[in-house]
Structure 1
Amino acid sequence: MIDFYRQKGRARELDGDDLWYEQELPGIHAQLGKCLAPFIQSLPAAEAELLMQIEINGLSQKHYAEQHQLKYSTLKSRVKRARELLHKSFTDCCELSIDVQGNVSDFTPKAGQCKKC
């Protein structure tokens, strides 16, 4: 009996709708995405420019370091600090629910806390 069901299961083709890891939450990401630019712009100028170039414009960290004559390790530290400040902006504004993969699965705006988006 086990072989019967095993063979039947193998014959079925899966598509993207059957796979949980290919299912996106466009509502959550789209809503939080609207807050990204205002939060970045609210950071100190150096951190805002850094994140805009690397995260939004897609400039590699090595290329950015070369352009600004910085050591790569120094730049990595600055990017980490800027990302932490950006994360703080989000957590100050919203309660974030994180799934087991570390992705945002839901959020709840804090009443009266968020005035940036």
Structure 2
Amino acid sequence: MDPKRRLERYAISLALLRELLSFEDCTMTLIERIPLLNDQELVTLLANARRLDIVGTPAQRSGAAEVLPVLELEASKRRAVVLEAATKKRSATAATRRKTASPVDGTDGGTVEAA
């Protein structure tokens, strides 16, 4: 294919891509998307923002400073949920163990008296 034709096809493809991506009414900012991220995406974005806050350009530092509080708040909320679930699971497991370890027949714990 000649270069001129290839360039025309590229321009058409680029125009279509721009048109598909130009949803003015449903665009979201990064801060609005944070609650929708999965845990791995949140961890990665938080690590990148922390890195850019330290070694980034001035523009990157200001952008990182803008999203860091929101990212850290969301990460702390998710950690709290995980810790609460783990605490509930531990207490349920401990209750089950206490239930199975308690003497059923009312004796003093299973000691046998000599006759």
Give the TM bin, normalised by the shorter chain. Answer: 0.3 to 0.5
Q: What's the TM-score once normalised by structure 2's chain length?
A: 0.32
Normalising to structure 1: TM-score of the pair? 0.32
Bigger fraction of residues in strand: 1
More helix per residue: 1 or 2? 2
Larger Rg: 2
